[in-house]
Every structure is written in C-alpha cells, then in structure tokens.
Amino acid sequence: MIHVYTTEKLGRLEEVPLREIWPHEALNFTNWLAQEENMELLSNELNIDIEVIDTEVPAGKYRLDILARSSDDETIVIENQLEHTNHDHLGKIITYASGLDATTIIWIVEDVEEEHRQAVNWLNEHLDDTINIFLCKLRLFRINNSPAAPKFQVICEPNNWSKAVKKVNDNIDSETDLLKLEYWTKLTDYIKQHPELHLKERKPTKYNYYDMKLTDVKSSLAHLSLTVNTQKKHILTQIWIEDNDELFEYLFNNKEIIEEELGIDLFWRNKENNKSSTIGIIRNIDSTNKYNWDECIKWHMDMAEKFNKVFAPIIKEFEIDHC
C-alpha cells in the first residue's frame, strides 16, 4: 500500500479569548462592530441588511450598544455581551426593543446558557411576525500568529416561514396576497440556492414588491426593488431612489453608459409619486399563473444581478462625492 502525505506545512487553528482582542466591551467591541465592514459580517450571517444609526443610545436609565435600521427602514437593536448570557441582559433586550419600538433584536454573546436559548426560541415562537430575535455567539480564531478572525454563529433565529404561514390566517386579505407571499418565498429560496449571486435575500411578504440592498450602497439613498403587478400582468425590476433629485440627475447624466452596459433601454421616472424616483424595466408576463413562476424568477434574478453590477458602483461614486 502506498501512503501519500502532503509536503505543505499546515498551521494550527486556535481559539482566541474575546477579551484578549476587545478588553472593554463598549469602547473596543461596540466601536469595532459599528464599523461598516464589520457590521457586514453580521449582516451576511443573519441575511438581513443592517445600517448603523448610532452607538451607546440612551434607553431610559440604560444605554443600548447599537441602534440600527434595516433596508425596510425597520428599527434594529443590538446588545453586546462578551460573556455568558444572563437574566439581566435578557431583560435589557426586551426593554430596549419596547422603548425604541424595534422590530428586530440581535443579542451577541460569548456563550449561551441553555435556559436563555430556550427563552429566545420561546419568544420567537409566540410573538407575532412583527418581532424577530436573533441570539448570536461570537468566536475568534487564528492560525499560528495570524490576526484573529471573527465568526458569528447563529444560535437562535426567527422561523420566518412558519410566521409567514401563520400570518395567512391573520392578515392576508385575499388569495392574491397569499399568491404573492408564495412567489416571494420561492424567489427567496432561489437566492439561497444560488450563492454565486451577489444578492441578499429578505423575508418574503404578501406585498407586490421585494426590496433588496445594492452592494455597498446605503439603503436610505437607493435600493433595488422587484415588483409583480397582478392586475396589469407584468413584472418589474427597478432602482428606487428615496427623494433625491440630485442622485436621479447624476444617474440620468450617465444614462447612455448605464443602458449600454445593461444592454437594454430603461424607463426613467423622476418623482411621479411626488416623493421617490424609479429607473427600471418592465416585462409583460402573468405572475398569477404559477406555471410562469420559474421564468419570472429567472428574469427577476438576471435583471437584479445586472442592475446591482451596473448601478451600485455608480451610486457609490455619487455617495462618496456628494454625501
């Protein structure tokens, strides 16, 4: 029998105590996490977009570590605890969420006690779908003398699908609403199954739109929006600009370059609803017919990927120069 061994020298993976890198939770870790490139690590792990608003935010007689918002403009509270979970912090996350009217709670800890894991799971199962709680364990690793690398591990998360199904009995007003929920759920599954896409999925809803974050672009500036119009029997992919004439004009001045790179002609609508502007494309296809769904989703994803690739760097340039 021939034994073959690698001649390449391998390193040893070792775990690093959190306090060795961040001695002070508020001064060191919170400020580190609040930086955009580090918050992106957490966003990617949770599959939600997180934009930091402020740190050390007053909430009654306490201070919340990080106040943030999602691409849906929902409030997110983030509580850091570089130690084992305890009853005190479990109470604090609920206090912060109620005081700041948050819809998403993220609790980051060094390790998780079983009773607190059970408590968070119980809350996720019994609260309605307006409240989502994530319990995350943070670990640090290094190989030999390399810099320490952080790894977020999701211990508890909301069961979005079961909550969405529960909502059918409570808040979905028609069969059309249920149809849209099913379509966006199928599209979300498609994104999860295709990691090569530079797109982040979001929680499916009963609405006719599905908003997504553009790479490295603040959601408050512009975002990608997929739409189904069940009445007019067409679907759309568009860039949605929030009340910003200057950005729309900047993009319009690059119209020829954008349309050439995309290989398609776009519609350009500046503040038709007196608030937001849109740039996009329409395809005539009936999304109420489930036999068309594979084709609709493929088109939505192809267009979304192209829009993200072309628009995101141009909008990022505008953000750097004007914001």
pLDDT for the residue numbered 127: 87
- Residue for token digits 């409240």? 131
The verdict on residue 5 lying in a domain is no
Asked whether residue 209 is assigned to any structural domain, the reply reads yes
6: in domain = no
Residue 132 structure tokens: 């989502």
Q: Is residue 7 part of a domain?
A: no
pLDDT digits (tens, 9 = 90+) for 295-305: 999 999 999 99
Q: Are 217 and 281 in contact (CB under 8 A)?
A: no
Residue 76 shares a structural domain with residue 187: no
Q: Is the pLDDT of residue 277 over 70?
A: yes
Residue after which a domain boundary falls, among 106, 137, 158? 158
Mean pLDDT, to the nearest integer, of 173-188? 87
- Which residue has better confidence, 161 or 234? 234
Considering the domain architecture, whether residues 169 and 306 belong to the same structural domain is answered as yes
Q: Which residues form the domain of 240? A: 162-322
Residues 115 and 187 both lie in one domain: no
The reported pLDDT for the residue numbered 165 is 45
Between the alpha carbon of residue 217 and those of residues 224, 241, 270, 282, 320, the distances in Å are 10, 12, 20, 24, 10
Domain containing 219 — which CATH number? 3.30.1460
More confident residue, 67 or 48: 67
Residues 96, 101, 118, 157, Cα dihedral to 10°: -120
CA gap 132, 86 in Å, rounded: 20
The Cα 127–Cα 268 span in angstroms is 42
- Assigned domain for 8 exists: no
Shared domain check, 211 and 143: no
Are residues 311 and 184 both part of a single domain?
Answer: yes
pLDDT at 272 over 80: no
Structure tokens, 252: 């319009």
pLDDT surpasses 50 at 182: yes
- Quick one: pLDDT at residue 33? 95
| Average pLDDT of the residues in 235-256 | 92
> Which contacts qualify for 62-66: CB closer than 8 Å, 24 or more apart?
62/92, 62/95, 62/96, 64/96, 64/100, 65/25, 65/26, 65/30, 66/30, 66/33, 66/34
For residues 272-279, average pLDDT = 73
Q: Please indicate, yes or no, whether residues 55 and 169 belong to a single structural domain of this protein.
A: no
Q: How confident is the model at residue 276 (pLDDT cuts 50, 70, 90)?
A: confident
Q: What is the CATH number of the domain that holds 93?
A: 3.40.1350.10
Q: Range with the lowest mean pLDDT among 40-49, 177-186, 241-250?
A: 40-49
173 and 210 share one domain? yes
Predicted local confidence at residue 318, as pLDDT = 93
Specify whether 144 is located in the same domain as 203. no
Give the pLDDT score at 262.
Answer: 96
Q: In this structure, are 185 and 242 located in the same domain?
A: yes
The answer on pLDDT for 35 being more than 70 is yes
Higher-pLDDT residue of 177, 95: 95
Q: Are residues 23 and 135 in the same domain?
A: yes
**Which two structure tokens, joined as six digits, stand for 152?**
């977020």
Question: Is the per-residue pLDDT at 273 higher than 80?
Answer: no
Given 96, 131, 158, the domain boundary residue is 158
The pLDDT value recorded for residue 261 is: 96
**pLDDT for res 238:** 95
Note whether residue 87 is domain-resident. yes
pLDDT at 3: 61
Locate 8 and state its tokens: 């390449």
Q: Compute the mean pLDDT over every residue in the chain, rounded to the nearest whole number.
A: 87
**pLDDT value, residue 288:** 92
* Pairwise CA distance, residues 155 & 84, whole Å: 13
Question: Are both 186 and 60 inside the same structural domain?
Answer: no
Distance (Å) of CA 264 to CA 86, 144, 198, 261, 287:
56, 51, 20, 8, 22
**pLDDT tens-digit map of 124-155:** 988 877 789 999 999 999 998 899 999 999 99
What are the DSSP calls for 18-30, one per residue?
A: HHHH-SSIIIIII
For residue 161, pLDDT beyond 80: no
Domain count, the chain: 2
pTM of the model: 0.57
Looking at per-residue confidence, does 171 or 239 come out higher?
239
62 pLDDT band, cuts 50/70/90, is confident
Work out the pLDDT band at 321, boundaries 50, 70, 90: confident
Q: Rounded to whole angstroms, how far apart are CA atoms 185 and 206?
A: 10
Domain closes at, from 105, 124, 158 = 158
pLDDT-derived band at 159 (thresholds 50, 70, 90) equals confident
Q: Are residues 149 and 180 in the same domain?
A: no
C-alpha pair distances (Å), 51 with each of 38, 93, 134, 219, 320: 11, 19, 16, 8, 17
How far is 273 from 241, CA to CA, in rounded Å? Answer: 12
Kindly report, residue by residue over 81-91, the tens digit of the pLDDT. Answer: 999 999 999 99
Q: In 191-216, which positions are buried (b, 16+ CB within 10 angstroms) versus exposed (e)?
A: beeeeebebbbbbbbbebebbbbbee
